[in-house]
A and B are shown apart, each in its own frame.
Chain A
Amino acid sequence: MSAPYIVRFSLKQRVEHLLTMVIFALLCLTGLPQKFFTAGWAQTLVHLFGGFDSMRWIHRGCGILLALSTVLHFSTAITGMLSRKVAFSMVPTRKDFRDLVQQLRYYLGSEPHQPLYDRFTYKEKFEYWGLVAGNVIMVGTGLVLFFPVIVARLLPGQLIPVAKVAHSNEGLMAFLVITLWHIFNAHLSPDVFPFDTAMFTGKVSRERYAHEHPLELARLEGRPPPTPGEAHDAHQDEADQGVA
């Protein structure tokens, strides 16, 4: 019998996630009051952070940490990929688009099976690259707003209000996507409710892995990839056992 669980996330990945989570939450708490500054809750948060000046510095400090963690993440990922220790598993492929279509068709009832996923589903890839693109925009525009005089020395002044509009809207979108999409997928989705612990313990049961990432599991165990029917039946058996 194979191991009862699969190690899905390394310690480094779990620490990165925890850091990003804390920094992101702080950035939202210190950033959104600046966007919705006329709201009563904005003033409450400003008081909580010890006044507007200290709130601004916490926001900037967290922004710098986010920038550093992004740079660190990519430098280790790129060196890892070059030395072939890390697979290109996060790169979007044509299969992801097929998976998206098949998943939606399954939801709508015009497809009997869900797609068979490899290490990362299209949903995870979308969120990952969304976060990366968001980080780049937020850090870039954040720096423009942090050092407007230096920016205007080199570039047209209108870029500063442009950066403000982009920073404020991109930030709001990140907040909405994370609260809606990430909280759903990690907590509220019927598949994981109430809490997907994989990102904190690193572990996922083999049973669940066979359902969620059958292609990766087969590769890990040196088996040929399962067909949609097999994976579905396996899942069905588990469900039946669960009932019994």
Chain B
Amino acid sequence: MNRLAFPLLLVLASTPAWAADSAKEQEECLGCHGDPKVDPGDLKGGEKLPLFVDKELFARSVHGQQGLTCTDCHQGKKPDHATGEALPFTRRELSRDHAKVCASCHEEVATVFAKSVHGRQLEATGDGPACTDCHGVHTITRPSENELVLRTPDVCGKCHTNETLMKKYGISTRVVRTYLADFHGMATTLSRGGKKGEKGEKVRLAAGCTDCHGYHDIQRTDDPSSRVIAANLQKTCQRCHTGATANFPAAWLSHWEPTPEKAPLVWGVTLFYKLLIPFMVGGLGLQIVLHLWRTLVNR
């Protein structure tokens, strides 16, 4: 059904009567929500809910480009909803409600996601991320633009560097730091500011988090179906590194920091240079100082 939904929407969006309607509707909503100074909503749980929507940013988002309007997602909202509408208790609860809205069009993705470790955790405890936690809300980009994957260290890092949350599941918070210390993290960071290509896509030269771990189908790293479990790793590397042999996955330290136990050679060479560089630079610097001192004394 949802395969038909988009073309159908596009056809409808191109109809002048509908276009005029949706434009009018957006004007109406943005009358309040387009004002950066609009008061945030008070959730009963004590949190504030920002209610400002940047018109420009939404127009540039994939949904804005497709011509979706406010009520396509905020179904059933009426212009007078500001008075006495029941709001969710927390923002977390709201994000979970969002996921249901997304699923009404993105049904297939929602089914895959529900089986993933994140989907199951969202259902069971609410700790798993909902759609909008990773994709954003009014600024959602097209996946082919590479905008999101280049930001995965930040997107995933939001939860995966949160000590309290990760402790609960026994997951290391060093995953982002170790990723950035590696070639992939460097290349992704430096590609982020790059220009966009003809199709609006950014050049991407290295794997982001999701390239190895998966997207909506992400699983625990010890799950037999995980893309990053040892048995599947070679195949995962081959997705980018054509012809990678069984030795190749060892080139990646699996988010371990180089210690004498985990990667003795990497550790040893790092230590060697940690000693050599100050020795070399210090020694030469000292000789320069002595040279200058002698010149001054001789004067």
A-to-B contact residues, CB < 8 Å: 33-34, 37-38, 42-43, 46-47, 51-53, 55-56, 104, 106-109, 145, 148-149, 152-153, 155-162, 164-166, 169-170, 172-173, 176-177, 180-181, 184, 189-190
A32 to chain B, nearest CB (A): 12
User: In the assembled complex, which residues on chain B have CB atoms less than 8 Å from the CB atom of A158?
Assistant: 250-251, 263, 265-266
A162 touches B269 (CB 8 A): yes
Q: How far is the CA of A185 from the CA of B4 in the complex (A)?
A: 74
A189 to B284, CA, bound (A): 13
Known: A104-B287, A173-B280. A148 touches B247 (CB 8 A): no
Complex Cα gap A42–B191 (Å): 11
B residues in contact with A155, CB < 8 Å = 247
Chain A interface secondary structure, helix, strand, loop or mixed? helix
* A109 with B294: CB separation less than 8 A: yes
Identify the 9 closest CB pairs spanning chains A and B, nearest first.
A157-B250, A169-B273, A160-B251, A107-B290, A157-B251, A152-B248, A152-B247, A52-B190, A107-B294
Which residue of chain A has its CB nearest to the CB of B277? A173
Besides A53-B194, A189-B291, 12 more A-B contacts (Cβ < 8 Å) are A38-B180, A107-B291, A107-B293, A148-B241, A157-B248, A165-B258, A165-B269, A169-B276, A173-B276, A177-B280, A180-B281, A190-B295
* Contact between B273 and A173, CB atoms less than 8 A apart: yes
- Cα–Cα distance between A215 and B241 once the two chains are bound (Å): 58
**Which residue, of B189, B258, B293, has the highest number of chain A Cβ atoms within 10 A?**
B189
Query: Which chain A residue shows the least CB distance to B284?
Result: A181
Q: How far is the CB of A208 from chain B (nearest CB, A)?
A: 16
Contact A51 B195 (CB under 8 A): yes
Check if B186 is an interface residue, CB within 8 A of chain A: yes
Residue of B at shortest CB range from A169? B273
Q: Provide the bound-state CA to CA distance between A42 and B187, in Å.
A: 12
- Can you identify 26 A-B contacts, CB atoms within 8 angstroms? A37-B190, A38-B189, A42-B190, A52-B187, A53-B205, A107-B290, A109-B294, A145-B183, A148-B248, A149-B243, A152-B245, A156-B247, A157-B248, A157-B251, A161-B266, A162-B269, A165-B258, A165-B273, A169-B269, A172-B277, A173-B273, A173-B276, A173-B277, A177-B284, A180-B288, A181-B288
